[in-house]
Structures are given as structure tokens and as C-alpha cells.
Structure 1
């Protein structure tokens, strides 16, 4: 009877641990794409800071001719992921001053994850110099080349640490002097990516220990011998 109680206790423990791991895994995938909404509106998930002001992120109805994708509805003009460009102005063709434009979003994770991967693609005009997660650089770019090329964009596959609760992700986009001189370049960013966090190693260790304990208990139970004593 005692052996059966122990087995049931271990089974309940294992079930609880397994459910915990499943919950943690499900709670740590976050879509951080830009331009969630209709052209001509604002993206409430992103904010923009220019050298002179803090602005809302606009989803422009018009985009620069060099921005080959992301201006059309999903499935059209190369925009197969639903992400759109965001800019400091409602008109994406307007020029911006030379300097760094910072695009930021805040997302929340309910579980602490010791490892996470940011996967997807981004496009920018002119170029992303850094990507910051909670103020720590997770991407650095020393190239002077623009990143608004047609189609595929710049791939992201970055592993980093996350925090339980609020996390801030920022793209620092350098707006360079255009062919017409300083202040003759538009500025914009398009991101289609997700954070996929890995449950804590401790969670997996508890699961393995639970499986081992149940197996050991069942093995001992099978070896138990019943002896009859006659008077």
C-alpha cells in the first residue's frame, strides 16, 4: 500500500512538472513584427525617437521606391509575412535629418527563460547600427551599406538572455546624408521576427528526475515478492 502511495505521489509530481514546462514553453514565444495595422495608421506596439523628438510609429500609405516590400497588403509585392514599414512620418517618402532614429517595442514574458532566440528578418533605411535588448547590444553592424534590398532582408538568428516581465527591444537606425546632401534621405524600418524562449534547464532536469523516480519505483514494485506463512 505504501509503495502504491509513493508511486501515485511521484506520478502527480511528474504531471505537475510536465504541465509547468508546457506552460513555460507556450508563454515564451512573442511576435515582434512591425506595421501591425492598416497603412495610414499608427503601430501601437512601436515608438520612435529621433534626434529632435519622440514620435509615434506611423504605418505610411506611401513608401520610398527603394523599399521593395512591405508597403502592400499581405501576400502582395513581396509582403508575405504581414509586416509593414514604420516611419517617423505618415508619408514614408519624406526626408529625415541625418542622425540615429531609434525604433523600440516593449513585450512581456511571464516566465524567466535562460536562453532565447530572435529569428526573422529586418529591412532598414539607411542601416541598423545596433539592436539592443534591455539596453544590451545583441547585434552590431559596422557596415555603411543600406539594408533595404529587395525581398529577403537581413536575417536575424540571435540567442540572448531575457527577463521575466517587461523587455525592451530597440533598433538603432542611422539615417545618412542622401545624394541631395544632408537631410535628403527618408528613414524607415521593417521587422518580421519572433522571440522563441527556451524553458529553464532546471525545469528539464526536474522532468528527467521525475521520470527516473517513477521508473525506479515501478521497478522496485515488480521485484516485490509475496510470501505466505502457514500456521
Structure 2
């Protein structure tokens, strides 16, 4: 194989890398809703130690799964566990929108009943998705006696990602968000005299959370071309090693 052809193959394979990022599907692959009455997440301001948004132990949820092979299942029973912590104070980000930044945390979904996805059967106790995270924020509109909040965590803060039904790579998680409704007693900062205040946080509340993970994966054709390109590069390298040895 000529040096020119080898170089051309290598260049083509490397050129496909940005293409794979651009030609990607993005979809919700794990979404959940509460499967029990009452709140499933609690916010607590711990003073000097910081604050936390967490489940009280584990909470029952119903999960919908999609695996990018066209397989889809809803109503999967699972235990949801979440713990996010931070030390930041509330920041006025836009109008009446206030935010506090997560330092990090963990999240997991463990099935409590057997389920099937495509042709694969999964037993109760399967790890639907578990990971650690850093960054993200908890945002809410204040001052108010009731309302909604959003916990948003970008995928570039994820680590220790494991799952019994997803493979990493080629699937790349891009975002995790939890929408909080039925917030009691609502959103308040300090004593609700928010004008000009600093070094204050949201006051304690409970809420009912639902949310989803989104992910990106290369289009099947692009992924195949990428693997083929690297395979050809590897083949050329092996041929050169054999020729040198001879």
C-alpha cells in the first residue's frame, strides 16, 4: 500500500470524528415519574455545612427506557435515589429567577421488578443507570408561596457511569434534569426579603420530582464509517510491520 494511500485513509478516519459529533441523535433514554403519593425530594439548608437536595432513602418511580436500537419500554418499576449537595448561596440570575450551584452528588435507578427491552430480559435489581456528578444548578422563581423548580446537571459533569442496558461509549449522556412540582411551602430566600440580600439560600422545602436523561449517539452510518476508517488504518499499520520484519 502506498504512503499516499495510507495517509489518505488516516486523514479520512480522523475527519470523521467531528462528523460523528455533528451527525448524532439526541433523545431521552431514561425518564421517570413518581410512583407514590407525596413528595419524593427534600431540600435542606444545613447552615455553614451547606445544603442538600435529596430523596429520603429511596423513592418508587416509574421509568421509561429507550436504547437507540429502536427498543422502548415504559412503566418499569424502580427505586430512585438522589443526593445533590452544595455550599453556594442563591444568585439572582434573571428577573425573579434564583439559582444555587451543586458541588456534586450521586443518582441511581435500580429496577424493582423484571422487565424486557427488545429481546433482552432484565431481572429485578438490575442497574438501570447509576452515576456520580459534579456541577449543575437548582433554580426556582421567588418570592412565592408555591411553584416549580428545576435541577439541571450537564453531562460533562458525569463520572462513574454504569448501566445494565446501555453501553458507554458509543452512547454519551448529555444532560440530566429534574422538574420539581407541588413544592411546599414554596420558594423563599432568607425571610423572603430578597431585595439586596447576599449570603442567603432557599429555605427548606419538599417537592415531587420527575425528570429525564438525554443522550447523543452517532448515526448508525457515521459510526460504521468511523470504525471502518480506523480499521483500515490499523490494517495498513500491520502490513507495514510485517513488511519491515521480512
Instruction: Report the TM-score, using the length of structure 1 for normalisation.
Output: 0.33
Please identify the structure whose Cα radius of gyration is greater. Answer: 1
Q: TM-score, normalised by structure 2?
A: 0.32
- Greater RCO structure (CA 8 Å; 6+ sep): 1
